[in-house]
Amino acid sequence: MKSILITNDDGIGAPALTPLATAMGQIATVAVAAPDGERSWIGKAISKAAEVNAVPVVRDGIEMWSVAGFPADCVHVGSFGVLPAPPDLVVSGINIGANKGSAFATGSGTLGAAVEASNIGIGGIAFSAMSQGEWHEWVEWVYTPEALEMWTRLAEVAADIVATVLDVGFPDGVDALSVNLPADATLDTGRVVTGLARTKYGALFAGSNGSYRHAFDGILRIEEDIAGSDLAALDDGLVSITPIRMANAVALDNGLKGRLER
């Protein structure tokens, strides 16, 4: 039977973690190693100078490892520390909020864990849930008992996608699969393989006199036509599956290339 390591960036207490572990347990042997607290927007940071401790915990009858580190740390600690052998696949999520577009994708701890898996030769799939309604109200609601139905349903969709990847094999040349799930997605919701929309955002911090706090306004600036992208799929209510390759060089225009080369 295949083995899966589950992690996230919302922490060991994240509402999606036990539903996801339960769903994945239907298709593979599952281990869970998640940060001991929220580590959102941390990318694929690694704890180089600090000691990373892993403590066994139990949530809803599921044994897990609570890791004092980042999501990418959890991939290493889980794969080469607490497990007897590296897993066949790393599954990260389900994130609270979509990781849509390049601006979110490059900063996401959820996606960062999946990308870090590729650096050690393991396929990684990141799952994120699209918010519904007003963001702050939705974020509070996802931790309530009423949200369990949503997390359980989305976990079933995630497990179905993972089962397909395990059956076919993780794609060559892909660092991670980034899957964005509409909050109302079911097993019958359409799925489409997409590109990654090029996006940017403005200032992430507000303050003065040397004191600044995170204050993202939620606005993404779209850099190009979104047809065929993850943003377009989500706008259409579809599950977006985006194959991502992080280290990928592109061509320069002849003017700049000519000035740079000697």
pLDDT tens digits along 59-82: 999 999 999 999 999 999 999 988
**Is 202 part of a structural domain of the chain?**
no
Place of tokens 């799930």: 181
Structurally, the chain folds into a number of domains equal to 1
Specify whether the CB–CB gap between 219 and 202 falls below 8 A: yes
What percent of the chain lies above the pLDDT cut of 90? 82
**Is 256 part of a structural domain of the chain?**
yes
- For residue 222, what are its two tokens? 């779209």
Instruction: Indicate whether 34 pLDDT > 90.
Output: yes
Task: Quote the Cα angle for 146-191-132, to 5°.
Answer: 35
Q: The domain containing residue 107 runs over which residues? A: 3-197+227-260
What pLDDT does 27 receive?
A: 97
Specify whether the CB–CB gap between 186 and 236 falls below 8 A: no
**Is 221 part of a structural domain of the chain?**
no
Would strands 123-129 and 176-181 be described as parallel, antiparallel, or unpaired? parallel
**Is 215 part of a structural domain of the chain?**
no
DSSP assignments along the chain, one per residue = --EEEEE-SS-TT-TTHHHHHHHHTTTSEEEEEEESS--TT-TT---SSS---EEEEEETTEEEEEESS-HHHHHHHIIIIISSS--SEEEEEEEES---HHHHHHH-HHHHHHHHHHHTT-EEEEEEE---SSHHHHHHHTTSGGGHHHHHHHHHHHHHHHHHHHHH-PPTT-SEEEEEE-TT--TTS-EEE-B---EE----EEEETTEEEE----PPEE-S--TTBHHHHHHTTPEEEEEE-SS---PPPHHHHHHH--
User: 138-154, pLDDT tens digit by residue?
Assistant: 999 999 999 999 999 99
Q: Return the biggest CA–CA distance within the chain.
A: 63
Task: Quote the Cα angle for 252-253-254, to 5°.
Answer: 115
Instruction: Indicate whether 220 pLDDT > 90.
Output: no
Whole-angstrom CA distances from 137 to 2, 140, 141, 142, 143 are 38, 5, 6, 9, 11
Cα separation, 33 vs 159, in Å, equals: 18
**Is 216 part of a structural domain of the chain?**
no
Instruction: Indicate whether 11 pLDDT > 80.
Output: yes
Whole-angstrom CA distances from 88 to 117, 220, 243 are 10, 35, 18
What is the rounded (10 degree) CA torsion for 46, 194, 141, 144? -70
CATH number at residue 160: 3.40.1210.10
**Is 217 part of a structural domain of the chain?**
no
**Is 205 part of a structural domain of the chain?**
no
Mean pLDDT of 1-9: 96
**Is 87 part of a structural domain of the chain?**
yes
Cα separation, 22 vs 220, in Å, equals: 34
Specify whether the CB–CB gap between 244 and 196 falls below 8 A: yes
Specify whether the CB–CB gap between 4 and 28 falls below 8 A: yes
Specify whether the CB–CB gap between 39 and 71 falls below 8 A: yes
User: 15-31, pLDDT tens digit by residue?
Assistant: 999 999 999 999 999 99
Instruction: Indicate whether 218 pLDDT > 80.
Output: no
User: 79-104, pLDDT tens digit by residue?
Assistant: 998 888 999 999 999 999 999 999 99
pTM of the model: 0.95
